[in-house]
Chain A
Amino acid sequence: MHTRYLWPVALAALASSAARAPVRPAAAVGAIAGRVTFTGTPPKMRAIDMAKEPSCATQHQTPVTTETVVTGPDNAVENVVVYISAGDSPSATPTAPVRYDQKGCQYIPHVAVMQVDQPLEIYNNDETSHNIHPLALSNPEWNKSQPAGSAPIHASYAKPEFIAVKCNVHPWMHGYFAVLATSHHAVTGNDGGFALAGLAPGKYTVTAWHEKFGEQTQEVTVAATGTVTVNFVFRALPY
């Protein structure tokens, strides 16, 4: 679920998010919002050479680049998963599946966030065969091929884990499954912003996870109303 919240309009999002989550207590109107940025020089993303797979290469007018560190304006860091890692009350498992696409020999989204036991559907939209190999460590690991035109692969994960996903047929294809125990999560967009809405008053631990930069956590106290601002800053190295 590639949630693109813009933090200045976090309050608007808060309302819709609360409406979608009937299991939460009515008092849950607090929110956490903020921005993820970097200092230093991030590594240069390389152009991906898809010559091996002409059916994918022709789908991209300009060469796509690797997505290990995707940055936006004002040092924003994209693809950071921000979530409540402690203090959250349990919530029901969503039944709506998370969709993960393989298109043009790329994973869309790059990071797919799902809750524990939430159904996951993986689609192959390409004219070529892929294999999906989520390199799970705590969860059971599997590795399946998905030839062109095959049915979607259905999966789910029982334990929270950040799982690297790779396609061996197209080694440049790399993505992540973020399996979380909480329903409060967001992935930063191009502006690095995120918002976690619908929180009951209390003390929380907020974690920001990035595939290259690692994890940062902050302790936050959320009041009955209003938004608490939390920012994360990662240090970037060119290599």
Chain B
Amino acid sequence: MPDTTATASELRHVAPQSFLRRYVFSLDHKVIGKQYLGLALVAVCTGMVLSWLMRWHLGWPTAAVPGLGAVSPTGAPGGVITPEYYLSLMTMHGTIMVFFVLTTAPFAGFGNFLLPIQVGAEDMAFPRFNMMSFWVTFLAFAVLVSAFFVHDGPPIAGWTAYAPLSAVGKDAGPGQAMGQTLWAVSIALFCVGQLLGALNFIATTLDLRTRGMSLARLPYATWAWFITSVIGLIAFSVLLPACILLILDRVAGTSFFVPAGLVISDRLQPHAGGSPLLWQHLFWFFGHPEVYIAILPGFGIVSHILPAVARKPLLGPRVFIACLVAIGFLSYMVWGHHMFLSGMNPFSATLFSVPTLIITIPATVATLLWIGTLYGSKLRFNTAALFCLGFISVFVSGGLSGFFLAQPSVDVYLHGTYFVVGHFHFVMGVAAMFGIFAATYFWFPKMFGRMMNETLGKWHFILTFIGVYCVFMPMHYLGLAGNVRRYSAFADDYMKGSIPLHQFITVAALFTGAVQLLFLYNLVRSRFRGPLAPANPWEATSLEWSTPSPPPHDNFGGHPPTVHHGPNEYGVAGRSGDYIMQASPEPDPGA
């Protein structure tokens, strides 16, 4: 019997020659990873501009935004943002950031590029699914953005799209017609894309590891992507049907989420028998794990980079993996903490509170392991290192405010206020972004074969680090004073006193946003003008550093490496280099 598999494998790894197959409909995980990162870059720029507009409006509600009147004559006549346009901006900002940035960049983007190389594979297990995963996600993004251009305007129901507001159509307000349907279609498509990606990640990690790459020798980033994909597989497969049901409620007259007897804009709605809480349960069953989909890759990235910059092994590697697994497991038992006050049986609030508080234990342990790793280290302060350190700081800040919200009795006061906004922006927004920045500065040389500018990078870090604290720490103060979120203006007398603080946050946000231009400039300039990168510029151990920068089409030039060590061999004494690469055949230093 002829060995057909080998033939197929060889055929697969002949680099395609046409432009379309090489750069557009590529099967190569490295190209797909870059495509995801490119999509995330476009998405993050869009999302950030939307947040600037929102902040502008919150600081100075009657001031016209220069040029906006021409871009959106209905949403912002004369450049002054209307309340419904503010809610659209908010909905689109949340959706774009959570789905198309915090999921695509750290997980789908870096995961795609690096995971197969780190396990020593030539590509993902299912390259065609992988290509499809990206293009479906791209389509989802296009559908979402198209909501900006429909007659009725973009949706206004927030990224959580609570029913019945999201389920009954135009009677509920502007943007709730075609715009909201496009939102639901976009998210359903996104789920399909991420399910294909998650399947690939799991199969690749389990089946395509090279010789010697036992699970215990997997790098921490790979572990994090693997666990994230398991979480994603379950989470997105719940959100997908939820979105389909929402679409059916909207276009086919079903009543999954809409009860009987609702009168919206003077019209008795033709629905009966649905439950708004059902949407909330389905959404948060996805929504809470989604927080970990956004942040766990950051955990992995930090644990991966930290030993390389501290020049010592990660403290408690097995404990760290156990923490990841525990967080992944517990992430499915806590969704109800988003719903303490939403009419669930009040007994269940106490039940959901306990795992929510318990999940802080593995998170605390992981944080302590990072801080413990820093103890007595010889830190190399490159930009990637700084963003890892910044990650730890903001993760601590954001994580601790979670203690308040995890308790139903305190949530009674803080729920629905800016305290929540400050909390989740720190813990899943800024922390995850710092993870993405660290990964970019660290792996850019591998991805493009050129080094990034370190001076610009350090300025970028310092200014961003100060900026995000000025933006998000004051939101906790606002929340304590009872300042309600999702308001386009503060008409209530007791909230008027908070406007100066909102103006401070606006200035800080515009400043922090402007600082990101340094990053963009650095990114573009380094891509074409940066000094050529050696194979292993950071003296790191994992397999991607054993292959040239950028890696060849099949990652290892037809010679998959054999792994002899774990990823943690830093600070090895008594030899010329202080580290041992995973593919190095020399014996373990302890042996």
Contacts and interface: CB of A to CB of B under 8 A. Distances in A.
* A interface, over-half SS: loop
Given A143-B84, A151-B77, 8 more contacts: A135-B265, A135-B267, A143-B173, A143-B174, A144-B174, A147-B62, A147-B83, A166-B265
B77 A150 contact: yes
Contacts of B491: 128-129
B78 interface: yes
Contact of A150 (B80, B173, B266, B267): B80
Nearest to A166: B266
18 contacts: A129-B83, A133-B265, A135-B265, A135-B266, A142-B152, A142-B174, A143-B173, A143-B265, A144-B74, A144-B84, A144-B174, A145-B84, A147-B489, A149-B62, A150-B77, A151-B77, A164-B266, A166-B266
B336 to A, nearest CB: 31
Contacts of A131: 83
A173 B188 CA distance: 39
A216 interface: no
Interface residues of A, number: 17
A152 B345 CA distance: 47
A49 interface: no
Interface in B473-523: 489, 491
B266 to A, nearest CB: 6
Interface of A: 128-129, 131, 133, 135, 141-145, 147, 149-151, 164, 166, 168
Interface in B47-106: 61-62, 74, 77-78, 80, 82-84
A151 B491 CA distance: 20
B170 interface: yes
A147 B75 CA distance: 12
Nearest to B81: A147
Given A129-B491, A150-B77, A151-B77, A144 B265 contact: no
B416 to A, nearest CB: 19
Contacts of B152: 142
A129 B491 CA distance: 9
A109 to B, nearest CB: 20
The 6 closest A-B pairs by CB, nearest first: A145-B83, A143-B174, A145-B82, A145-B84, A143-B173, A133-B265
A212 to B, nearest CB: 14
Nearest to A145: B83
Interface in B144-182: 152, 170, 173-174
Contacts of B489: 129, 147
A142 B84 CA distance: 12
Interface string B385-411: 000000000000000000000000000
A165 to B, nearest CB: 10
A32 B196 CA distance: 74
Nearest to A164: B266
Contacts of A143: 84, 170, 173-174, 265
B220 to A, nearest CB: 50
Contacts of A144: 74, 82, 84, 174
Contacts of A141: 170
Contacts of B82: 144-145, 147, 150
Interface in B111-128: none
A126 to B, nearest CB: 12
A164 B265 CA distance: 10
B59 to A, nearest CB: 16
Contacts of A145: 82-84
Contacts of B267: 135
A212 B74 CA distance: 34
Nearest to A149: B62
Contacts of B80: 147, 150
A131 B265 CA distance: 12
A150 B80 CA distance: 9
Nearest to A137: B267
Contacts of A128: 491
A154 B409 CA distance: 49
A150 B77 CA distance: 9
